[in-house]
Structure 1
Amino acid sequence: MPPACLLMGTLWLLLAALNPAWGSNNTLPLVMWHGMGDSCCNPLSMGAIKKMVEEDLPGVYVLSLMIGKTIAQDTENGFFLDVNTQVSMACEQLAQDPKLKGGYNAMGFSQGGQFLRAVAQRCPSPPMKTLISVGGQHQGVYGLPRCPGETSHICDWIRKMLNSGAYRDLVQKHLVQAQYWHDPLNEDLYRTHSLFLADVNQERMVNESYKKNLQSLEKFVMVKFLQDSVVDPVDSEWFGFYKPGQGTETETLQESALYKEDRLGLAAMEKAGKLVFLASEGDHLQFSREWFDAKLLPYLR
């Protein structure tokens, strides 16, 4: 073997040893976060998506976040564990995983979409490269018309708590969905008492590190489901919401004060071509493999 080839081969092996993300496949690792009522490893949902990605991108490392010590805890925590605590737990997992040191892509489903955005804003190391939000409620929700697990008493109980007082301290601290409940009729109450969403959306003050960290993304992809029966309003999946003071007429991200004042840097990101708005026919999180491969897979390669 010529000396130059031998040198290059040795260098490649050295780099692969130093960076576990290198190897036979140099596709960035993928981190996924499930939605409400789901778990990291459900074979009919997140487990199936993990398998699908691994088939489409041979050799890729896929981490499906488990918040808790067991799958049962992971599911339960999606309803009852403070979101800020969940995000901290996720950040700790990512920081301790040597396979992510070189950076990773992220894909969040439903509430997992906004939770991963919080990870991007709060935890820049290891670096998130592309964030794909699949039906994430980035401006929150004002209603829970159909939550996963409809046969369970949990959904009825959650609705009762949200309707009776989403911004009570006890409800905020112990009900995940209350932490992204956004009441357009009581914006001051929301800004004052929302423990999670009002913070990550810069509603009380502008945290420059949040803005800087989010802008470091190469792409921020948002998927909206056009027949969504779970998210109210569905515009939240593209960062839109109800116009302040009423719960009927919506406005787009570009029409919002958040965008016009550029509190998160989204206007600058759109100008730089970093924001991607995708639409999918169908209900919440309902998509075909063909749609996934055509629309989302290119952002993971």
Structure 2
Amino acid sequence: MLKKTIRIGTRDSELALWQANTVKSKLENLGYNTQLVPVKSEGDLVLNKPLYEMGITGIFTKTLDVAMINGTVDIAVHSMKDVPTLLPNGIVQTAVLERASSKDILVVKGEIDFKKSGTIATGSLRRQAQWLHRYPNHNVVDLRGNVNTRLQKLNDNDWQGAIFAKAGLERINILPENFIELDWMLPAPAQGAMVIVALENDDFSKEASSKLNDSTSEISTHIEREFLRTLEGGCTAPIGAFAEIIGDEVLFKGCLFSLDGQTKLEIEKKVLTSKIKGFGKDCATFILNNGGAELMLSIKNQLK
């Protein structure tokens, strides 16, 4: 009997294809037959609207979810930070690959004097709020498109810099020489991690792709996404989170900002790895009980 070919659904941007090809080669090394199926997502097609106006939940994943449910692809590969914390019915997470750098970086066009006012570009509410919190005298402008498009826009405009996820630029070898690592900025939950999803009832694809799971990355991203899900409840907001396993402990840092960056709520907490059940949720509940619930409400009203 012929072995089933696993059809890998992916967005057609250079970075998404790199991620899908990485999964393809790993599966083929395990002896599976695979085929790439590139699909354009709504998030890639509509570049003139800020993400939060497009009902961000699943904007980059929806098209692939539909393709999977329709039976045109078997698994999908995503940047995990783009995936809604609640997956559609019938679709399950099968693997988190070993995580790359979770850091944000500022790509600059020369010397930058942070004391002077300047213009920084980002399409992310999280990056915008953290930037304005640190540099309230700066102006932040919206920046959309895949990483190549965004680098080109930075080149074409008189901005001082633009913020990117380091992992994305490293993966497709376009990390410019001029960048500053923003080690003070908390990343998006699961930033730098790739995730594979499959249909719940497709045992063959689930079993095959689950062999690529990295348990350390799975644990840390789970905590970060649990924090996100508890805080936002379906609304997009400036939320950062990072969980790191150090020995037998997990160190977690989480934050929630107002859109203008003036209000900052944060938590830093350790827990034994044997006691991580509900840890992300507990950290989010602490934020909600200490001004977070009111802040989330005002963010929702501002984004209406």
TM range (shorter): 0.3 to 0.5
The structure richer in strand per residue is: 2
The structure richer in helix per residue is: 1
Report which structure shows greater RCO (CA 8 Å, sep ≥6).
2
What is the TM-score with the length of structure 1 in the denominator? 0.36
What is the TM-score with the length of structure 2 in the denominator? 0.35
